[in-house]
Every structure is written in structure tokens, then in C-alpha cells.
Structure 1
Amino acid sequence: MTQHVIEMPDLGVGTFRLEGKTAYNSVSMALEVGFRHIDTAQVYGNEAQVGQAIQDSNIAREELFITTKVWNDKLNKASFIDSVKESLAKLQVEQVDLLLIHWPSPSNSEPMSEYLTELKKAKELGLTKHIGVSNFTIANLNEAMQTLDSREIFTNQIEVHPYLTNTKLRAFCQQHDIHVTAYMPFVVGKVLKDDTVLDIAKKHNASPAQVVLAWINANGMTTIPSSTKRENLKDNFDDSVKLDNDDIDRINALDCGDRQASPEFSPQWDE
């Protein structure tokens, strides 16, 4: 296992679609429960609330792993670095642990080499400890590796869950030692009602959420589920469930290509 996989906690808390007080409360509760890995993005509009929750928690900065992502309209030489500095000001930190390109979809069709060079510059300037990408396909990663050494790509944050196992892309990432961070693990709650997942949960005397997170963990990925309820955060944080090969095979078989995040500017997805 490479060093960076250990450094980023396997389980983080996501903040997508959480705004205002809701975002603040979710992050505050998550930190109280024990989460130390927090994921946000410029476009979520909640970096200030996330930063305030971190500030108010009084948890030492070095104990936390903070990720944010640069939005499509900032993927150019003119705006990139300033936008990252703005994110840091909102988050009330001097540096994030991980800075990602949110989508390989610059608003003005800037070349990838331009925004990845800026990403690298953000790291050189000490604005982030690590750099990575999000929603990058195999074709995108091949292009990215013309600008960045694959060892510099700390993670590819992509949609992965039992209904979209994304096996081909994950295998490519593994081949190039690019760690995978899985988002939307619960398919907006859909998979938590799945009969197979419920059956495995019963077998392990666990919750459906714990089973899904154990499946992600067994596949060597990091994940960032979000929740606004303390009991769900506690439930997610309990990683005592260990699945056997039969459980893993049964969950793998649920793949049906049910993609949740596919805005009109998405890349051409890998089948």
C-alpha cells in the first residue's frame, strides 16, 4: 500500500448538497463522532460553514484531512490560484490536504494541460499538500498523465456504489497506483433498501449503510458519505463489519449502471 492511501482516512464525511446551518451542523457532529476527513468543494457554497465548524471544534489542524475542489469556471491561468486562496480563506486554513479538479469540464474549453499546470502550481505554492482529480475517465486520466506524473495524482474521486461498480475505471486507476475515492456510496439512499444488502446486513447484525461501507473498504477505496443525523454519522463511523467473499460477490452482482451524477458537461463515461 502506498503511503498516501494511509494518510487519507478511509472514511470521510461529504458535504454535497448541504448548505448554511445544515452544513455547519453536519460537520460539527461528524467531528464530534470522530470523523477527521472532511470533503467539500467551491461549488457546494459551504466552504465557510465547513471552515467555521472545523474552527469551532478546536481539533488540531494536523489531525484533520480537508479536501476541496476547483470549479469549472476557475480552470484557467487567470482564476485558478486566486480561487484556491479564496477557498482557504473561507475554510480558515493555510493549506488544504487535498485539492481536486472537480470535473474535467472547463467552462471555456481551456486545455487540460493549462489547469493541471495550475493545480501543480497550487501544490508548489504550499496551498495544498496533495493534488488529484474527480470524475476523470480513463481517457481523461491518460491525458492528465501527459502533464502530471501519475504518482502526483493522489486520488480520482468518482461515483462508485453497488449499483455502479465502475470496475473498468477502478482497474485502470489501480494499474497506475491512483487511489479511488468513492462518492454517493448509498445511491441517495436507494441501495439501503436493497434486498441483498438488507439480507447481508441481517447476517452481520449490522445496518445496510455499514454493509455498503464495508464493501467499499473491502475493495480498497476511500468513501465520503454525508449525513445530517448524528445517529447515521455514528452508524457510518462504526467500521467493525467485515464482509466475506460471498457477501462481496453478491454486492458486486448488483451493478446495473445506475449513475446518479451526470450533468450535461460530463465527460464520455467509461462503460
Structure 2
Amino acid sequence: MVRKVSLEGYDRSLISRVLIVFVLIFSILFYILNYAKGGPLNIENLHGNGGIDTWLRVVFRLSCAYLAIHTALFWMVLNPVPGIMVVLFRDSLEVREYPSKGFEKLGTFSSWTLILFGASMLVNGLISIGVGVGAEVPSWLVMSGVSIFATGFSSAALTAIIVRHVIIPSMVDNGENLDRMFKPHEHVMHNLALVLLSIDLLLGGMVVLWTLMSLSLIVGALYLIFAEFWAIKGAGYYVYEFIDPRPRFAPLFLLGLLGVCLISFCIGLAISEIKEDYPILATLAIVLFLSFSVRFRAPSAR
């Protein structure tokens, strides 16, 4: 199936690029200026006291890290079966299926989410091992683990929301086959990453700090820059039709996407703030959020 897209004579690329770079620079400055304002972290809350609670965290986090690594390597990069993506080719303005192979399969934002998910679980799992064996874990490393977790959570939330409420409905409207969206590796990227990070937030002791808020915007802006470079200098296509910076309302839409990045982070921040004093409320909030965000079956299967 091939579908043509019309720009209607508009090209808002320059405006879109300037806005994205501005958001990136502002976000980096915000992170640098506020990094030290979060206060000291309680390593025992994050990684346990060295007993069974610590080792339960180790098993959970490293198991999740292996899931991410296995998904990226064996179900995606090393899988000889091409990954079918419906992409927008920049020059021809055609939306059509494209068979991606090897590392090209990691060019989606979902894949970036998978990498952040795996990195969070791996880094924090290794820190938990350090706590478990009684090693002195430097504060900067603990903070790095929290930073990666917060970034991974917001990215996973954004991915799940966009897939469920934007991409899948668009595919239904265009009469596309939904089967490819519910393969095992897609479930890990679109659903399980958010579910497992939510468990680590609620039960594992991870936290989301307001001082790390701009990290979600940094990742979002970097991906949009990467996507533009990939479309112009790389394979010539946008993985997602809605990230093309040229249409009339593209600058506003891209800012909206970055806004959703921020909202996704704030959801994690809100749950992090209430979970210690109101654990039942935090649990209900997580359950409601997940029920709104993830989708394990195609719409027709409900």
C-alpha cells in the first residue's frame, strides 16, 4: 500500500528546527543549573539495606536488563527477518512499507525507549549488587542511576501513549495490518518497558526528581534531530509521518510532542511524590495510568 502526502506548498523546516534546538539548549541549561538542587538521595530506599530486599532488586533489575538486551539483539538486530515499518519518504512524500534490517531497526523512538529501559535496569541492578556486597557506592553513580531511570520512565510513558492513542488509531484509519504492532519485541518496547519501570518506581524504591525534568525534553529533542538527519543524510525516510518538520502546523505539533514528553515525566514525578505517604493512592494512580497507556491486544480483539 502506497499513500501520497501533500505539503500544500508549505515548508516549516526552519521554524521547526529552530524550535527544537531552542528546546534542547534550554533543557540542557535547566539540567545543569538545577542538578544539585534535588538534595541527597537515600541509597537504602533505592537499593535496600544489603539484605534480601537488595538482592530481590538485583534479580528483578538484571532480569529486566537481560530482557531489554535479548529483545534488542536477538529479536531485532540479529533477527534475519526484516522489520516491516510504514515510513514517510522525504523526497517522494510517499508513505509505504519498508523492510528494515540489522541496526536500522533501532532507529525508532520505541527502540531508544528500549535502550533507556535496559540501561536503567542494568545500571541500577549493578549498583544494587554493590550495596549487597557492602561496597562504597559513590553518590554520583547513585544519581546517575536515578537520572537514567527518570529518563527511561518518561520515554516509556511517551512511547506507550503515542502508540496506543496516535499510531494504532492512524493505522486502523488507513486500513493497515496491526499484527506487526503486537509481536514480542513490540510488546517489550511499547508495553512491558513502562510496566516494569512502574514496578521499579512503586516497589523498587526508584524516584523521579523535579531537577531531572528536562531530561525527557533532551531525549525528545535529540530524537527529532536524529530523525531529521536520518531523513536527509541517511535512509531518506521518517519512521513516523507526524515528525516531518515541513507541514504547515509541524512546529506546533512537534512542540506538542515535546510537551507530551514533559507530561509523561510529570506523571512519574507525581507518583514518586505521593508513594511514600500514600502508597495505596500511588498504586491506584499507576494502575489507572497503565490501563490508559498500554495495549496488549489489537482494538478488534477487545
Could you tell me the TM-score, scaled by structure 2's length? 0.23
* More strand, by proportion: 1
Could you tell me the TM-score, scaled by structure 1's length? 0.25
* More helix, by proportion: 2
